[in-house]
Structure 1
């Protein structure tokens, strides 16, 4: 019986130690998780946009069997805090304009319908971003669009 009592005491001690470690581990995990999420939630990411005018683009479209053209004004936006990107965009304005012109020339009139706007803008942004090394564009803005 004495041995049973010793084994029972050892078993109780082991269970107590495991329980204490589980509580401490859970508390530590919960605290770290809470504070990591608290910091992220209290500091929303706000990106202020700066704009670069690519300018007016007037090109023929690639519609077969008809001569259609488009005239539009194109602007790109980027994070205003990224001064290196602002300089790179200014330095590469000829490249950016060339990419936009040749992409738009490859489009058909139906590509400029409102339902296709997100795809069109996404493709232009992706092509320009491939040439940039200091950051990425945020959006494309099209104004004064005429498709004939």
Structure 2
């Protein structure tokens, strides 16, 4: 019986040592990862310089509003990472394709799509449709200027 007590005590000590070892290793790992991540995040901010290119002449199209003749007249400009020279060349080369995508997308819109509350969705949809045609990079943003919805 005395031997059983010694074996139980020995087993409890062994389990306690294992648990403490796991806590120590886990805490050290967490501390190291936290230190490394916070150090890299603070020291390496990513700054993307934008370059801009207009999408040809102004776009003037009818909207798809039912029971009324509505139209929109606007100018578009695209922004992309200035360091991506291949994308700049591709945008220049595919100017006609990009303009076509923009015109057909805008024609499918209704006047209410150009309200400020819908601006983010409108721009996001347009960016994703144009990006689908690009192979060397992606657009950062689309800027709409001189807009008239009538």
Is TM > 0.5 for Structure 1 vs Structure 2?
Answer: yes
Q: Residues 4-25 of structure 1: CA distance to partner in whole angstroms, max 9, x if unpaired?
A: 7864456435533542343133
Task: Give 1:49's aligned residue.
Answer: 50
Task: Give 1:138's aligned residue.
Answer: 140
Task: Give 1:32's aligned residue.
Answer: 33
For structure 2, the 5+ residue unaligned runs are none
State how far apart, in whole Å, the 2-side matches of 1:26 and 1:114 are: 49
Q: Residues 27-57 of structure 1: CA distance to partner in whole angstroms, max 9, x if unpaired?
A: 1332123212321232222211111100311
Task: Give 1:102's aligned residue.
Answer: 104
State how far apart, in whole Å, the 2-side matches of 1:107 and 1:22 are: 59
Distance 1:95 1:29, change over 3 A: same
Matching of residues 1-148 of structure 1 within 5 Å: 3=3, 7=7, 8=9, 11-12=12-13, 15-16=16-17, 18-55=19-56, 56-148=58-150
CA apart distance, 1:26: 1.9
Aligned residues: 148
Distance 1:94 1:17, change over 3 A: same
With the length of structure 1 as denominator, give the TM-score of the two structures: 0.84
Distance 1:3 1:75, change over 3 A: same
Distance 1:60 1:12, change over 3 A: closer
CA apart distance, 1:75: 0.5
State how far apart, in whole Å, the 2-side matches of 1:126 and 1:81 are: 21
For structure 1, the 5+ residue unaligned runs are none
Distance 1:117 1:3, change over 3 A: same
With the length of structure 2 as denominator, give the TM-score of the two structures: 0.83
State how far apart, in whole Å, the 2-side matches of 1:85 and 1:38 are: 32
RMSD: 2.2
What SS does the corresponding residue of 2:66 show, helix, strand or coil?
Answer: coil
